[in-house]
Structure 1
Amino acid sequence: MIAATPATPPPLPLLRLRLTPRGVLPRRIDGVWWPHSRDLLAQLPQLLAALPTAWGDIVSVTVNGAAWSAGPGRMLVANQVVHLHKAAARHAPDTVVLLSPGHGRWDLLVVPPDTTEEAAATLMAAALGDRAPGTDGGV
């Protein structure tokens, strides 16, 4: 008899998230997220786990309903229920809105998963007011 060893799950891909610096005046967006896929159930837990503790517990997430895969109206993330809302495509198609009672609302620009690394870096830098890598003194 051959004993099968349990397969080790592959490591999670690196989270691609940049937040606006603290102390910056209110902005249209609070950060930029470049998910690896349009599977919200797979991508959301890693995003929420990486957010600053000052943002509190995110209890509601609103996304573009046409841009993300189908999913339930709520999910359990880190032992907390998170309500998922899918807005009409015309309503902020490129953002995800995070709500935390008593802490506030945060809007993240979403870079499409299939965007090239170069284009994503440029979009993220432009959205946050940085210089794009490799341009006039950029990193």
Structure 2
Amino acid sequence: MASTVHSARFTVPVADSQSPHGTWWPHTRSLADQLTHLVQAWPADRGRISRILYSPPDWDDRPHSVLVNGRRMKTGSFPRDDTHQVTLVMHDGQRRTISVIPPGTSRSDANGLLAGFGDGETERPGWENEGGHV
């Protein structure tokens, strides 16, 4: 089993070679409200996030930028993106992909997905409206 850095709603493997590079369970479908939590949970030793790309169907809002920790962070998306992921664009240009667990997922299911991330056996989280396993 891979070692991970784990918080209540975010998991990222200690080794940075795995993709996706983390799993996140936001509280709501408001991207503008939730990005602060994601940015704060991101390990500082993995680099500084400069921009965030998101999958539009996953969110009720579609901001062009959000205020995170006192600075304006650009966000963007591709109109047909339906990956259920966010992509963190790092200051050095590298990209880190984060799987998004739907906010309405039960605590036990989400905790199982977060705890199982990185073990090679956990499937990518699905969304209720597409027959996912939530």
Task: Answer yes or no: is 1:107 the counterpart of 2:97.
Answer: yes
Cα 1:87/1:103, change in 2 over 3 Å: closer
Task: Answer yes or no: is 1:19 the counterpart of 2:12.
Answer: yes
Contact persistence 2:29–2:58 (CA under 8 A): yes
Contact persistence 2:20–2:96 (CA under 8 A): yes
Residue 122 of structure 1, CA deviation:
2.5
Q: Distance in 2 between matches of 1:110 and 1:42?
A: 15
> SS in structure 1 opposite 2:49?
coil
Contact persistence 1:55–1:104 (CA under 8 A): no
Residue 63 of structure 1, CA deviation:
0.8
Task: Look at both structures and tell me which one has the larger radius of gyration over its CA atoms.
Answer: 1
Aligned to 1:81: 72
Gap runs ≥5 in structure 2: 1-6, 123-134
Identity %: 25
1:75 maps to amino acid: V
Residue 25 of structure 1, CA deviation:
6.2
Residue 48 of structure 1, CA deviation:
0.5
Gap runs ≥5 in structure 1: 1-13, 133-139
Aligned to 2:21: 30
Cα 1:64/1:25, change in 2 over 3 Å: closer
Matches within 5 A, 1:1-139: 16-21=9-14, 24=15, 26-89=17-80, 91=81, 93-102=83-92, 104-129=94-119
Question: What is the TM-score of this pair, normalised by structure 1?
Answer: 0.71
2:12 maps to amino acid: L
Residue 37 of structure 1, CA deviation:
0.5
Question: What is the TM-score of this pair, normalised by structure 2?
Answer: 0.73
**Number of residue pairs aligned between Structure 1 and Structure 2:** 116
Q: How far does the alpha carbon of each residue in 1:2-47 deviate from its partner, in whole angstroms, 9 at most, with x for none? A: xxxxxxxxxxxx85111111xx362221111000111011110121
Q: Distance in 2 between matches of 1:100 and 1:25?
A: 13
Contact persistence 1:75–1:81 (CA under 8 A): yes
C-alpha RMSD of matched pairs (Å): 2.4
